Amino acid sequence: MTAVGLPQSPLIVLRRVRLVDMDAAARSYIVQRGSSATPELREKVRAIVAEVARGRDDAVRDANQRFGGGLSAGSPGPSRLTLDRATLRAARDALPTPLRDALLHMACNIERFHAAQVPAPEQWIDIGPGIRVGRIWRPLDRVAAYVPGGSAAYPSSLLMSAIPARLAGVREFVVASPAGRDGTLSPALLGAAGLMEVDEFVVTGGAQAVAALAYGTESIGAVDKVVGPGNAWVTAAKLEVFGQVAIDMPAGPSEVMVMADDSADPAHVAADLLSQAEHGPDSPALLVTTSARLADRVIEAIARQLPDLPRQAELRASLSTAGLIIETETLAETFDFVNEYAPEHLSVVVEDLDAAQAAIRHAGSVFLGAFAPESAGDYATGSNHVLPTGRLARAYGALSVESFGKWLQVQRVTREGLASVRATVAVVAEAEGLTAHRRAVEIRFESEANET
């Protein structure tokens, strides 16, 4: 792999490689990207989960003291781990008008998109005379959304979980989020919780939050499912408690891939990569392009834009650690690599967008065209930004209404219907050595045979 320094910012190094020059090991390293839950981390998280399951409220408070995430003495309810609805409503009413309007606009778009996902209450199929099989939609009773916090607050993530949950018909919706480093909670986050009429707000973060939601404590009721993104500790904890509760997916550090050809504006591409770099050095930001000329111009554009942005040190570190430009020979090669990588976010700026859409199989959320930046989807288009990371887009999709419910499978069978499958059950049950299964069918016809 070769590295190209940004001409006007020598302290930044953005790796640049040609796909054709990469051997299998180098390609696998990029595609697999570091696991968000190493064995060492899993072991630490396992210990925290066990402590919370055993020590309950006291263990959560102790974890908050050790790792951060609890309220300071000057915050509302510092001795409590939960905030009531009155506190959330007060925060809602205190929202500045521009922010409140923006959150409501965002919520309107999210609801409009997700409303189309609400399943029909029942689905029935007549398999044959006397056999009717169906599915009945049942929302979950109590679901919790983890909303990242600490260094930043994400009211947008709260809306992304709350709105589909309500549309699904969830009875109780809980939010867990840590307080900031100063021990206070973001007024924007609390206001968003008030707008969404959150039933319970749990003030804790990391592995202890997930454990408390899974097992319950004296003041935190256990839930049926935990959804939402988080850091490596949250992701590992969700994997640890899976089985005790359901989870949506192990949604770890954010990632973006920009797929572009010569038609792309390098300034736009650079801005998209920089917006991803804001997430931190564990968040991949990749450009995959057939154009070496575009790659050169994107590097130059990053160097021009960077000095105007805050958090210089973090951006430089992130680009050096997780930034990468991959040059490909053909669009077909590009599509193959995109599908192999299965990015969380995929921005596509090529001349033939229809062909690109048809070729893309694996990505969490796709942004087609020069005027579809990832940040538009993060906040305002109505699509969901809780997405699969770390190649899980090969099998998972975005958080949706369906994530907050389940299908209850139902069968209605008459005597005529059972008679029509009687022989099939008998033969297959005998082949599997499950004689009692056959007997459960046959016994229903024996009384009639004896009567005759």
**Which residues are annotated as catalytic?**
344-345
Instruction: Tell me the two tokens of residue 138.
Output: 């049942």
Nearby residues of 25 by Cβ (< 8 Å), 6 or more positions away: none
Give the CA distances from residue 180 to residues 52, 82, 187, in Å, rounded to whole numbers and listed in that order.
Answer: 21, 15, 11
Nearest CA among 313, 318, 231, 326 for reference residue 273 = 318
Inter-residue contact 292 to 299 (CB < 8 Å) = no
Inter-residue contact 337 to 326 (CB < 8 Å) = yes
Question: Largest alpha-carbon pair distance within the chain?
Answer: 97
Residues in the chain: 452
Give the separation between CA 220 and CA 188, rounded to whole angstroms.
Answer: 23
User: 97: helix, coil or strand?
Assistant: helix
Instruction: Tell me the two tokens of residue 63.
Output: 């974890």
Inter-residue contact 176 to 150 (CB < 8 Å) = no
∠ Cα 221 226 229 (to 5°): 135
- Residue 309: is it exposed, middle or buried by C-beta count within 10 angstroms (0-12/13-18/19+)? middle
Inter-residue contact 439 to 156 (CB < 8 Å) = no
Nearby residues of 271 by Cβ (< 8 Å), 6 or more positions away: 301, 305, 373
Helices (H), 196-330: 206-215, 232-241, 266-277, 292-305, 312-322
Inter-residue contact 208 to 67 (CB < 8 Å) = yes
Instruction: Tell me the two tokens of residue 108.
Output: 């309107």
Nearby residues of 312 by Cβ (< 8 Å), 6 or more positions away: 306
Task: Tell me phi and psi for residue 231, to 5 degrees.
Answer: -80, -170
CA dihedral (4, 7, 8, 10) positive or negative: positive
The residue whose two tokens read 């590992």 is: 236
Give the separation between CA 203 and CA 219, rounded to whole angstroms.
Answer: 11
